Amino acid sequence: MYIFAQIIELIYNKRRLLVPFFFGMNFRSQVETLLQAALEEDKALFLIDLKIGSDNSIHITLDGDQGVTLKDCMNVSRAIEHNIDREEHDFSLEVASAGVGSPLQNIRQYVNNKGRKLRIELEGEPTIEGTLSDANEKEITLTWKQREPKPIGKGKTTVTKNKTLSYDEVINAKVLV
């Protein structure tokens, strides 16, 4: 499979050698390049987090527009593991999907969760729990019901509230199950 390779001609004993394109790259660059290539093969998947420890432990967290299956994780794992020389690098690899209770970190995650109930933490304001009614490239809109005192008389009435927030205002957002 020569997808991840380019031919570099070396004039040494009139031989042609096939050298991987990441030859000479450091370990992190190799992993990032292979991961990007794997994600380009399946456009529905996107990266949430990549951590590489000092012991070459690789932890990749993925999400997808239609969710992430075990097969998706296996395909990404194989695309990386099979293209790094174990003789050169001793590493461990873990590929996982973002869990239901994980914070939303990517705009695509917000778009995928339209209509679901979220808990949003804001700086200097109380936490909001509401339904994600809209999400686009710049902002999200939450809708929730709240009990407020009647303008006239005793008792309370239920009102529908909407709040539009930019992504910069959100400290933490989780989907409620």
CATH number of 5-97: 3.30.300
Q: State the pLDDT at residue 153.
A: 85
For the chain, the structural domain boundaries read 5-97, 107-175
Domain over 107-175 is classified CATH 2.30.30.100: yes
Mean pLDDT for all residues in the chain? 85
> What is the tens place of the pLDDT at every residue in 98-123?
988 899 999 999 999 999 999 999 98
Q: State the pLDDT at residue 174.
A: 95
- Please report, rounded to a whole number, the percentage of residues in the chain having pLDDT higher than 90: 73
Phi-psi label, residue 24: left if phi above 0, alpha if psi -120 to 50, beta otherwise = left
Kindly report the pTM of this predicted structure.
0.75
Among the listed residues 89, 86, 98, the one whose alpha carbon sits nearest the alpha carbon of residue 54: 89
Tokens 């794992």 sit on residue: 77
Question: Residue 168, SS3?
Answer: helix
Report the C-alpha gap between 70 and 39 in whole angstroms.
15
Q: State the pLDDT at residue 25.
A: 64
Residue spans of the chain under pLDDT 50? 1-24
Distance of CA 21 to the CA centre of its chain: 26
